[in-house]
């Protein structure tokens, strides 16, 4: 990277992203790898403890490990979302016809710059519990855009 590009990147506004993370294929190994990747490529602010949860939707699969991470990034929302999908791919994610099937890694944006984007926060404990833990640990709160 050129010094001019590095200077531009350093001047980019930083965004905070709250991520829901889940895995049920070798979850301990994939969680460790995800933390290493995200921690080295983003600024890791806070994370929750991992919790074990039963699958939702397609039930004939192992339980999941779920957690939440709060990171800071200079990337814009769309670019960061694409980056998370690339991280899933790097960790061996195979996308098939069953969206609720087993996976090595699932990384979903729950909130961007404190704005709640994922309504599953209100529906699923496996999202809400880890997110609430990160919010408490980091002193952050969420807000919802008024429609």
The answer to the question of residue 127 being in a domain is: yes
Is the pTM for the entire model greater than 0.95? no
Domain count, the chain: 1
The answer to the question of residue 53 being in a domain is: yes
The closest alpha carbon to 132, from 117, 142, 145, 123, belongs to: 142
Give yes or no: 129 in active site: no
The answer to the question of residue 30 being in a domain is: yes
70 neighbors 109 (Cβ within 8 angstroms):
no
Q: How far apart are CA 79 and CA 70, in angstroms?
A: 17
Query: What CATH number has the domain bearing residue 71?
Result: 3.30.70.560
pLDDT tens for residues 25-46? 999 999 999 999 999 999 999 9
pLDDT tier at 57, thresholds 50, 70, 90: confident
Q: Is 90 exceeded by the pLDDT of residue 76?
A: yes
pLDDT for 2 equals 42
Collapse the DSSP code of 14 into the 3-class scheme (helix H, G, I; strand E, B; otherwise coil) and give the result.
coil
Give yes or no: 90 in active site: no
The answer to the question of residue 56 being in a domain is: yes
The answer to the question of residue 7 being in a domain is: no
The answer to the question of residue 104 being in a domain is: yes
Catalytic residue among 29, 76, 90, 93: 93
Give yes or no: 29 in active site: no
The answer to the question of residue 8 being in a domain is: no
Structural domain including 68 reads 22-138
Residue 87, token pair as written in the block: 């991280």
Give yes or no: 103 in active site: yes
141 neighbors 16 (Cβ within 8 angstroms):
no
The answer to the question of residue 45 being in a domain is: yes
């Amino acid at each position: 990277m050129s010094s001019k590009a590095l200077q531009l990147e350093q001047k980019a506004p930083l965004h905070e992203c709250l991520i829901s993370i889940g895995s049920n294929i070798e979850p301990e190994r994939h969680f460790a790898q995800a933390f290493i990747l995200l921690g080295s490529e983003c600024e890791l602010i806070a994370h929750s403890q991992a919790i074990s949860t039963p699958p939702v939707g397609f039930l004939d699969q192992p339980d999941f490990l779920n957690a939440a991470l709060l990171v800071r990034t200079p990337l814009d929302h769309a670019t960061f979302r694409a980056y998370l999908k690339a991280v899933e791919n790097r960790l061996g994610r195979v996308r098939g016809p069953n969206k609720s099937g087993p996976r090595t890694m699932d990384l979903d944006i729950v909130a961007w710059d404190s704005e709640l984007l994922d309504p599953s926060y209100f529906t699923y404990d496996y999202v809400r519990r880890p997110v609430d833990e990160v919010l408490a640990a980091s002193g952050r709160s969420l807000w919802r855009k008024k429609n």
